[in-house]
Structure formats: structure tokens, C-alpha cells
Amino acid sequence: MSKPIPIAVVGSGYVGLVAAVCFAEMGHQVICVDNDERKVAALQAGDTLIHEQYLPELLGRYRNDRVRFTTDLGEATRASDAIFIAVGTPQSEAGDADLSYVEAVACEIARSLTTYKVIVEKSTVPVYTNEWISRALERNGVDRTLFDVVSNPEFLREGTAVGDFLHPDRIVVGADSERAAKVLSDIYAPLTSGDYYEREGIIPGMCSTSEPPPLLLTSTKSAEIIKHASNAFLALKISFINAVSNLCEATNANVEQVARGMGLDSRIGPKFLRPGIGYGGSCFPKDVAAFRAVADQLGIDFSLLTEVEKINSLQKKRFVSKVRSALWNLRGKKLGVLGLAFKGDTDDIRESPAIDIVRLLLAEGCSIAAFDPAATERTQQVLPTDNKLRYATDAYDAAGDADALLILTDWQEFADLDLRRINQALRYPIIIDGRNLYDPSAMSDQGFTYLSVGRPVVHPVRDLASSAV
Ligand code: UGA
């Protein structure tokens, strides 16, 4: 059993909160800091704030014990060997990452730093951020021997964040000093040694004692680039398959077959080749833009990333055209919408392509009944109910008397609908699926006109001749 290490995590968003409870689960003593008093009070009282599998369980186990929540960064700094910075790095007007929160945290840490600490960048930051953090600490009077700045990017996905953190494909540690590298190796030892996976009641996942995750030690700059390059590459993969899906639609081919044929090549791999309505969320759009901005600032032509963004933005407009192609005119049409979150298993609507599409359809004069299993409340804050938009109680309510039903988020429950009930609820049996959740021929058998992404349109078996599409 490895030695518990006192750790501070600054920021209680997706990355910070999940890292805090997972470090506790690994056996460490954690103080999670946030400057938002209401958030801290809510976390102390047991509110998880975000919809994430296993988070309530881990918070229940460690809250106010192995994980303490506070607004006092000074106290947390003094009490910890390593301070993980996991605050937001939003997109600035110019497209690059706004690092003012990171800088503010670095300056505040400087005030309480009197013994050696490792400062860890956990937020997604551009290359050279470690140097800026060092400079900020030194400018605020901290002796250079009292700290090292390390990059330890996080690769967790929302919806599966806890499992991803404790069962990672790899742990990347960018450290330019052996002393700092050792602190990070010790922190992750429960995972890399495989000890964690021997324990009872652990969070399940892919790693095991015989196959623990590898820890890759790199320079700080390489680690910073690994994070941006990984997200940009995944976004590129999605835009690539979306462009291929458009080609499939134009030729009546089937993108699912194409993606399978490509993915079986082990050099390509099957993951992140699901076509849809474009990627969204708080990471890919922001990180592709930030990586492009870094390249621009360094005088490197990386216009490939501009194309990735262009395809992504067009994909949403193509979906609206698809709805038009099925319904002729959009003005005055009544649509049921399933899904508002940027992907399934989360209540996060940041940069959600589903919300963008809802906005576009409202602007075209449609009226919408929308349903999402978790994201409705958040959506209501940005798109309040009005005479063109209402929030349905379930999928069947959303379908009620609609001219067509649209699937915009890949929630499992939308793949398990009672299709007979949906068919009865709709005014016309038309489903336009932006996530390819159903098999087209089965939908045709069930009496639907079914449009999806990169696959041929199908019509009800019984009703082929009279179909409007
Ligand atoms: C992403 C990365 O996958 C994580 O590794 C990374 O840590 C995280 O960003 C981050 O930087 O914090 P996340 O944004 O939670 O994670 O979501 P993903 O599961 O990657 O999905 C992103 C978007 O791509 C979603 O809108 C999703 O629907 C879409 N997507 C994903 C597709 O359209 N097709 C696919 O094949 C996969």
C-alpha cells in the first residue's frame, strides 16, 4: 500500500471535482478549493453539482473526511505536497485560451508558499504555460528552489469521468525535474503499481493488477502539447467521418459500413468514427481553436484545424437541411426533439450541437417540444419556454402530434424507445436521427420514414409509393 500524499486541487468543475474524489479513492488526503462559496457549501452538504456516474458514491464515501472542501487556497497550499490547478481555461474572443484564472491561482499560491511544492497543471493549457506559471511565482517573490511546475493533462470524458480517471489509457507527466517527477509517480503509484485494482469495491473499468495503466514521463512542453494534440486529433477524426458521411449520402452508400471497414485497420481503429451532428462540449471546440491559435502565434500553418472546425459547423446546417428535405417547408412545422445535452450521459449543454440545431429550427419558424433526461433544467436557463418552445415530460410527450421526431443526443434511452407508441404519438411517422441510433431497415419495418446520417433514407415498407421524401 502506497503512502497517502496530501494534495490540493484548485477548481471544483468536472476535472477538479472528479480528480479530488478519485485521488481520495486512491488513498490520498485531498483539499478541494473553489472561490465560489456557494459551490463549496453545496459540496460540503453532499450536493454533487454535476451529473456523473459514481460521483455521488465517492463523495458519499470521502466527503468532509478524505476530501475536504474550502475557499481557503492559502491553507490548502500550506497543507499539501502537490497543488493541482484545475480551473477553467475558457476561449477568449481571439480564439486562444484565456489563462487569467490560472494566473490568479498561481499568484495566490505564491503568497503561501514557504516550503517545496509541486504545482501541477491539470487544466488544458497551451504550451509554455508552465513557464508563465513559474514566472508568476518568481515575480511574486517565491524562491525558484521552492517549487516545480509539472504538466499532468487529464483525458477523462464527461459521463464516464470517474471510470476514465481511475482506469486511464495512460497517465502523462511532463516534468523537467526528477524531484517533481517522483512526487507525481508516488501520487499515481496506486494505479501504476496495480494495487488499486486488487482492492474490493473499486470502481470498475478496463485496468487490472496485471494490466495497470502506463505512466509516460515527458518534458513539460511535450505534455502540454500531448493534451491539445490529442483533443484536436479526436475532433479531426470526427470531422473526417462526418465529411465521409456526406459523401455516402451523395452516393447512397452506408457510412456505418465504411467506418467499420476503416476501423478494422488497427492503424486507424474503430473509435471516434461515429458520424453525427458535429462534436460539441466544453473541450473539443475550445481546444481546437486554442491549438490553432498556438500554431498561429508560433508562425506555423495548421489550417487543417480550420477545416476541422468548418466541417463541424456545416454538419449542423446539413442536419437542418435534412429536416427540410423531409418536411418540405419548415415554417409552422411542429417538431419533437430528443436530446439537448452535447452527448449522452451528461447534463452539460456547453457548445451542444443539439442546442444550436434547436436555435436554427426556431429561427426557421418551427415550434418545438424538447425532451432530455438530464439537461432540460440547464437548457431552460438559456432557452426559456415560450409559444414556440416547450419542454416535454418524456420522449412520447415530445413526439405528441409532431410532424417529425428529431434525435439529437445519443442517450441510451432514445435507442430503446417503444417505437409503436412513438408511431402512434406522431402526426406523421417521420424520424430524423442525428445520432444513428436505429437500424434503417428495422425502422422501415416499423412504419417510419427514417433519415439518419450517411445512410440511405428508408420509407415505411407498406407506404413506399406514397412517401413524401
Ligand atoms: C473530450 C475527450 O474525449 C477527453 O479525452 C478529454 O479529456 C476531454 O474532451 C477534455 O479535454 O476535458 P468530452 O468532451 O467529455 O471528452 O466528450 P467526448 O466523448 O470526447 O465527445 C465530444 C463530442 O464529440 C460530443 O459532442 C460527441 O457526441 C462527439 N462525438 C464523439 C462524435 O460526434 N462522434 C464520435 O465518434 C465521438
Tens-level pLDDT at each residue, the chain (469 residues): 678 999 999 999 999 999 999 999 999 999 999 999 999 999 999 998 888 999 999 999 999 999 999 999 999 999 999 999 999 988 888 889 899 999 999 999 999 999 999 999 999 899 999 999 999 999 999 999 999 999 999 999 999 999 999 999 999 999 999 999 999 999 999 999 999 999 999 999 999 999 999 999 999 999 999 999 999 999 999 999 999 999 999 999 999 999 999 999 999 999 999 999 999 999 999 999 999 999 999 999 999 999 999 999 999 999 999 999 999 999 999 999 999 999 999 999 999 999 999 999 999 999 999 999 999 999 999 999 999 999 999 999 999 999 999 999 999 999 999 999 999 999 999 999 999 999 999 999 999 999 999 999 999 986 544 444 4
Fold annotation for 319-465: Rossmann fold (3.40.50)
Domain range 6-218, CATH architecture? 3-Layer(aba) Sandwich (3.40)
CA of 182 relative to ligand 1 center, distance in Å: 31
Out of 1.10.10.10, 3.40.50.1110, 1.10.1040.10, 1.10.3720.10, the CATH code matching 227-310 is 1.10.1040.10
> Rounded to whole angstroms, how far apart are CA atoms 236 and 288?
9
The b/e string for 94-133 (b: 16+ C-beta within 10 A; e otherwise) is eebbbbebbbebbebbbebbeeebbbbbbbbbbbebbebb
Across 108-178, the runs of DSSP E, i.e. the strands, are 117-121, 147-151, 171-174
Mutational pocket test of ligand 1: of 15, 22, 155, 157, the residue with most ligand atoms within 8 Å of the beta carbon: 157
Mutational pocket test of ligand 1: of 343, 409, 414, 436, the residue with most ligand atoms within 8 Å of the beta carbon: 343
- Cell representation of residue 326: 423531409
Residue whose Cα lies nearest atom 19 of ligand 1: it is 157
Give alpha helix (H) positions in 264-337. 284-297, 304-327
Q: Is the CB of 19 under 6 A from ligand 1?
A: no
- Asked if 36 and 223 count as a contact pair (C-beta separation under 8 A), the reply is no
Q: Which of 22, 207, 248, 283 is catalytic?
A: 283
- For the chain, the domains span 6-218, 227-310, 319-465
Inter-CA distances, 379 with 89, 373, 374, Å: 22, 12, 10
Please confirm, yes or no, whether 283 is among the known catalytic residues.
yes
Sequence-distant (≥ 6) Cβ neighbours of residue 296 within 8 angstroms: 302
Across-strand partners of 163? none
Nearest-CA neighbor of 311 among 353, 270, 260?
Answer: 353
Q: Is the CB of 156 under 6 A from ligand 1?
A: yes
- Cell representation of residue 176: 523537467
Q: Is the CB of 238 under 6 A from ligand 1?
A: yes
pTM across the whole model: 0.95
- Asked if 316 and 360 count as a contact pair (C-beta separation under 8 A), the reply is yes
Sequence-distant (≥ 6) Cβ neighbours of residue 330 within 8 angstroms: 320, 323, 324, 361, 364, 365, 366
Residue whose Cα lies nearest atom 34 of ligand 1: it is 274
- Asked if 410 and 344 count as a contact pair (C-beta separation under 8 A), the reply is yes
Residue 32, φ and ψ in degrees, nearest 5: -105, 125
At 467 the pLDDT is: 47
Helix, strand, coil: what percent of the chain each, to 5? 45, 15, 40
Give the pairing of strands 117-121 and 82-85.
Answer: parallel
Q: Do domains 6-218 and 319-465 have the same CATH topology?
A: yes
Q: Is the CB of 248 under 6 A from ligand 1?
A: no
Q: Is the CB of 256 under 6 A from ligand 1?
A: no
Residue whose Cα lies nearest atom 31 of ligand 1: it is 272
CA of 142 relative to ligand 1 center, distance in Å: 38
At 1 the pLDDT is: 61
Across-strand partners of 68? 31
CA of 398 relative to ligand 1 center, distance in Å: 27
Residue 133, φ and ψ in degrees, nearest 5: -65, -45
Residue whose Cα lies nearest atom 7 of ligand 1: it is 155
CA of 284 relative to ligand 1 center, distance in Å: 7
> Rounded to whole angstroms, how far apart are CA atoms 57 and 308?
38
- Asked if 369 and 354 count as a contact pair (C-beta separation under 8 A), the reply is no
Cell 473499468 found at:
205
Nearest-CA neighbor of 234 among 288, 278, 206, 272?
Answer: 272
CA of 445 relative to ligand 1 center, distance in Å: 33
